[in-house]
């Protein structure tokens, strides 16, 4: 069983920055792909960003403001978010797949609130 644990969420003012981290119970390098989704109240879960090998992919809502990276030493996948707006308020979930045919694993989520 793979466990993913998110951290780094919190309250930030509009225009501010925040970095989320996702720690895995197995080597991050062993994942087929790993990344982030988010879900705002009353909305469907939305794709944010993912890493597959050396390739990064971003959802349309990030607008070039988010950057996903992998820290091999810490065994985490990080999401650096900048120029945040209230529309970015959501629970952010880490996910990862061991193979393209697997259903994937999810973390419990971390709340990000952008408000003045």
pLDDT for residue 1? 85
pLDDT for residue 54? 84
Residue-wise pLDDT for 42-72, tens only, equals 999 999 999 998 899 999 888 799 999 999 8
pLDDT for residue 53? 86
The residues, any chain, with a CB within 8 Å of residue 73's CB and separated by 6 or more, are: none
The whole-chain average pLDDT of the chain stands at: 95
Residue-wise pLDDT for 83-97, tens only, equals 999 999 999 999 999
Distance CA 42, CA 44 (A): 7
pLDDT for residue 47? 97
Among 99, 93, 78, 115, smallest CA distance to 46 is for 93
């Amino acid at each position: 069983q793979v466990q993913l644990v998110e951290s780094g969420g919190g309250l930030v003012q509009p225009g501010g920055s925040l970095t989320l981290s996702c720690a895995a119970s197995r080597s991050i390098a062993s994942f087929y792909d790993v990344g982030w989704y988010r879900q705002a109240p009353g909305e469907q879960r939305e794709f944010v960003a993912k890493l597959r090998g050396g390739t990064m992919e971003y959802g349309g809502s990030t607008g070039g403001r988010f950057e996903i990276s992998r820290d091999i030493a810490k065994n985490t996948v990080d999401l650096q978010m900048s120029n945040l707006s209230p529309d970015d308020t959501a629970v952010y979930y880490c996910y990862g797949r061991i193979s393209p045919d697997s259903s994937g694993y999810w973390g419990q989520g971390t709340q990000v609130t952008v408000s003045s």
